Every structure is written in C-alpha cells, then in structure tokens.
C-alpha cells in the first residue's frame, strides 16, 4: 500500500479479509480471533469499522440485524437526531455467509448543533453522533466458523458511502477451515499456514511486525521501510542481527546468499548454541530458519523467520510463497 | 489554591499539529557532510545542576548530533515554510511509506528534535485554544 496510490488495498486480520480504499489505514485494533474490533481511518475520520464475535448458531440472523438497527435508533435518539434506516440493501452475493446489508443516514439535530467533541471524533466506535454522517452496515455470519461480523462503512451526508461499501462488503472473506490465513496491513501481505495464531503485532517507526505461533513454532513476519537508507549504512545481515538480537541470541546462524523473486536476499539457518542446549534438554530440537530480502521497487526489507521444534524451513517457505511484495 | 495552580498547557488538536511549521534553531552550528548528512553542534543545557557538573569537568560544552540522510533532508525542510503535513507527504512520497507510517515517524522525530531544542514548532496563535 503506497501512499498517494489510488485503488484498493487488502486488509487481513484474524481470519477475515477484505479490500478497502488504499488511503484508509488501520488506526485501532484490539481483541482476539474470537472477538475483536478494528477501525480504519482516512486521516480525517474513521471510515471503516469491523467488530466480530461468536453468536449461537440457533439465533437467526434476522434477530441480530434487528438488534443492530435498534442500537442505531437508540443512539440516534440519545443524540436527538433523526435517523433514516433502509434495510435489505442489495449487494453482490457473498458466498459462505448469511448476511444482510442496511444503510442509515442521520438528519440535522433537533436541538442545536453538537460541538466537534460531541460528534464522535473522540469516540470513533460511536460515529452516529455526527450530524453529517451516513453509514452502510453489513451483518454477516460465517457458515464455517459461526462468527458474526458487523462491518460499517462511514460516509458523509453529501457523499453516501454506497459505492465503497459495495466493494468492501463484496470482498469479505473468512479463512476459517482453509489451508492458510491471509494477513495484510500497512503494506505487509502474507499467507500464514493454518493453525498459527497471532501472538503479537507492532508498528514502530518504519517497521511493521506480526508474530504468530502454533504450539511448536513461532513465526515472525516483518516489513521494514526505508530499506535503501538502511542498506546504505550496513549490510542486510548485519542490520538484521542488530535488530533481532534477542531472537538470534540462542542460535549460531549460518548465512548464505539466496535471492528471492529476483530480489537480493539471504537465508539463515540456526542451530542452538551448546550452552543453551545443555540448559534446556527438552528444547534441543529447536531450530531457526530466516529469510530476508530487499524489494527495491517498494524500498522495503522483508523478513520471515521461524523458530521452534517444528519444521521451521517448511513454515518459512510457505509464508514466503504467500508473501506479496511489489505488484 | 489559585496561586499554586499551574497554568494549563494549550490544547492542540491533531489538525493544529498538522498545520504547525517547524523552524530550525538559528543558534545551532550546522556542518554538511559530503554524503548529505547533517551534523549539529548542540550547546549543553544551561540549568544549575548541569552547570555544576560542567564545573566539575563532567559535561562537555558541546555535543555533536549527526542526522542520517533521511533525518537531514527533513531538517533542511524545517524552514518555517513547510507545515508538518507537507513534511509527512514529502516523506511518504519520497520513501514509499504509507500515510500513517510517515505520520508516526515524522511526529516522533520532530518531537525528539524539539525536545533537544533543535527545532521550534510554530503554531498560529489564533489556532491555540486554552482550556
């Protein structure tokens, strides 16, 4: 996702995937695979909100939608706003889901104009307070995993978000039961083998990192910006050894040059140092496999590393195959 | 206890931060290296305990701060003409960063420079809203 680019970008998180306008970026995320919330903004305001949780399969979708519509009406009443809700809006067929789409539009407040602080800027999870806001919402239940997702695309009064919403909703995918899960945010787009769960994520200056784990292996996927500036100062391997010193500490790593998709790249294989092996007899089968490469068109360094007692090489190769760098 | 009440700092919104214009400190000596990097000669802080340490010989008069190539290019643009928003979009387009990423990097970098007294951040007074 390159700044200033037009078109759509991919967001993949906790088994969900969708496309969104490229200038919307992840701004808020919390929760787990089971139950979570995330939001994307366009630099000015929240544009897309997603929240999901498991709901009893017996509970009909109709009831869930009614509940959501009531919540919208109640929130509008609380803010003394008129709200127009239109249910059963048409969108392209979503395979694998039970779903309904509805839209709402708030009118001019009945009593006075709310101050900016009162219109939800401080609380992006409740956009309804804004007098100039309309929204398209999708309530969908995945037939495989049973999770129910609420997607909300927020627009303006003079710019209904229907066009974006249709595209976003139509691209919704759930990766439950598939061989891999696609994760994507801030220009990092990778397919992670099924069974790995997110352990941690971080966005620091120029660095986006996702850490996954199954019981035997930990998988680190990293995308680092300003690659050219970094590589002007030091070699790629030396840079990585300084950045990932904690991860590499228990290992003796042997590096070799290995290009990846015509990019300059390196592969590292790590064996546990003798003293660590003596200290931890049961983890003697622990290994490390690292691949790093520099994608020149994107000016980014990508790192995929797996550490554990599983087949780390296979995990790294699978993740690498599904890694998207330049298009 | 009104006399002990500290004056509240002005509240600055995100929009105001974006419209802020960073200005280089003209009192700081600057050296340009051939590779485009900028070195700044920072005088030590003039507070009593640092002055005391300096008398005991523990603190040098100046400290050299070398900015890397990216940091140097940002430093050059801190001329009071460009806003933080301009700097973010320039950084993003030049180094193929996403908007959010460029914003995070730029804001934390400028904050560091401001804390060291290397740049000042000019906010239009009419934009400031006191609590």
pTM: 0.80
* pLDDT per residue of chain B (131 residues) written in tens, 0 to 9: 566 676 676 677 778 888 899 999 888 888 888 888 889 988 877 788 878 887 887 777 788 888 888 899 999 999 989 999 999 999 999 888 888 888 888 998 999 999 888 899 888 766 555 44
Q: Does B118 touch chain A (CB under 8 A)?
A: no
B30 falls within a domain: yes
In chain B, residues 66-105 whose CB comes closer than 8 Å to chain A: 68-70, 89, 92-93, 95-105
What is the pLDDT at residue A281?
Answer: 58
Taking residue B114's Cβ as centre, other Cβ atoms within 10 Å add up to 15
What is the pLDDT at residue A238?
Answer: 95
What is the pLDDT at residue A327?
Answer: 67
Domains of chain A: residue spans and CATH: 8-174 (3.40.1000.10), 180-321 (3.40.1000.10)
**Total domains in the fold of chain B:** 1
B14 falls within a domain: no
Letter string b/e over residues A258-296, b meaning 16 or more CB atoms within 10 A of that residue's CB: eebeebbbbbbbbebeeebeeeeeeeeebbbbbbbbbbe
Cα–Cα dist A126/A183, whole Å:
26
Cα–Cα dist A149/A17, whole Å:
12
**Chain A residues lying within 8 Å of B68, measured CB to CB:** 229, 233
* pLDDT per residue of chain A (327 residues) written in tens, 0 to 9: 333 446 889 999 998 999 999 888 888 888 888 888 898 988 878 888 888 888 887 788 888 888 888 888 887 777 777 778 888 877 777 788 888 888 887 765 444 443 333 333 333 444 455 555 778 888 888 888 888 888 888 887 666 688 888 889 999 999 888 888 999 988 889 999 988 999 988 877 788 899 999 888 999 999 999 898 889 889 999 999 999 998 998 889 999 999 888 898 999 999 888 766 666 655 567 899 999 999 998 889 999 999 988 889 999 999 999 898 886
Query: Domain with B72 in it: what CATH number?
Result: 3.90.930
**A310 contacts: CB under 8 Å, gap ≥ 6:** A214, A216, A217
For residue A227, the chain B residue with the least C-alpha distance is B95
Total residues belonging to chain B: 131
Cα–Cα dist A54/B98, whole Å:
33
What is the span of the domain harbouring residue B67?
A: 19-119
Whether the CB-CB separation of B112 and B104 falls below 8 Å is answered with no
For residue range B14-35, list pLDDT tens digits in order: 788 888 999 998 888 888 888 8
B5 falls within a domain: no
B78 falls within a domain: yes
Name the residue facing A1 among B89, B93, B98 (closest C-beta).
B98
**Chain B residues lying within 8 Å of A208, measured CB to CB:** 101
Here the contacts of B1-5 (C-beta below 8 Å, separation 24 or greater) are none
B124 falls within a domain: no
End-to-end, the C-alpha distance of chain B in Å comes to 18
B13 falls within a domain: no
Whether the CB-CB separation of A209 and A201 falls below 8 Å is answered with yes
Tokens of A20: 């969104």
ipTM over 0.85: no
B104 falls within a domain: yes
């Amino acid at each position: 996702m390159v700044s200033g680019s037009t078109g759509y970008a991919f967001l993949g998180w906790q088994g969900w995937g969708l496309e969104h306008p490229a200038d919307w970026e992840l701004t808020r995320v919390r929760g787990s695979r089971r139950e979570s919330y995330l939001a994307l903004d366009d630099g000015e305001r929240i544009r897309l909100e997603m929240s999901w949780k498991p709901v009893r399969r017996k509970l009909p979708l109709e009831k869930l939608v009614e509940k959501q519509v009531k919540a919208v009406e109640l929130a509008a009443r609380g803010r003394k706003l008129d709200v127009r809700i239109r249910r059963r809006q048409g969108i392209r067929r979503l395979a694998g889901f039970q779903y309904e789409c509805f839209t709402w539009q708030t009118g001019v407040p009945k009593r006075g104009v709310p101050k900016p602080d009162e219109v939800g800027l401080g609380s992006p999870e409740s956009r309804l307070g804004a007098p100039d806001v309309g929204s398209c919402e999708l309530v969908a239940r995945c037939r495989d995993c049973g999770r129910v997702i609420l997607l909300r695309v927020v627009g303006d009064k003079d710019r209904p978000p229907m066009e974006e919403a249709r595209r976003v909703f139509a691209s919704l995918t759930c990766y439950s039961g598939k061989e891999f899960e696609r994760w994507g945010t801030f220009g990092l787009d990778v397919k992670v083998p099924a069974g790995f769960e997110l352990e941690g994520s971080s966005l620091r200056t120029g660095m986006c990192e996702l850490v996954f784990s199954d019981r035997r292996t930990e998988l680190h996927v990293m995308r680092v910006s300003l690659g050219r500036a970094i590589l002007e100062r030091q070699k790629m391997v030396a840079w990585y050894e300084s950045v990932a010193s904690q991860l590499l500490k228990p290992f003796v790593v042997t590096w070799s040059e290995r290009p990846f998709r015509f990019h300059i790249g390196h592969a590292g294989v790590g064996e546990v140092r003798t003293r660590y092996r003596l200290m931890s007899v049961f983890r003697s089968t622990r290994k490390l496999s690292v691949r790093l490469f520099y994608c020149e068109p994107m000016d980014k360094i990508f790192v995929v590393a797996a550490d554990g007692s599983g087949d780390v090489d296979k995990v790294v190769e699978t993740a690498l195959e599904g890694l998207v760098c330049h298009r | 206890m009104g006399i002990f009440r500290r004056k509240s700092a002005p509240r600055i919104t995100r929009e105001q931060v974006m419209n802020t214009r960073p200005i280089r400190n003209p009192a700081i000596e600057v050296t340009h290296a051939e590779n485009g990097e900028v070195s700044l000669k920072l005088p030590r802080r003039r507070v009593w305990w640092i002055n005391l340490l300096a008398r005991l010989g523990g603190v040098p008069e100046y400290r050299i701060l070398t900015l890397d190539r990216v940091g140097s290019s940002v430093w050059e643009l801190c001329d009071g003409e460009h806003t933080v928003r301009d700097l973010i979009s320039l950084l993003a387009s030049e180094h193929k960063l996403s908007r959010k990423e460029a914003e995070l990097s730029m804001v934390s970098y400028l904050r560091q420079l401001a804390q060291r007294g290397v740049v000042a951040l000019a906010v239009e007074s009419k934009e400031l809203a006191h609590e």
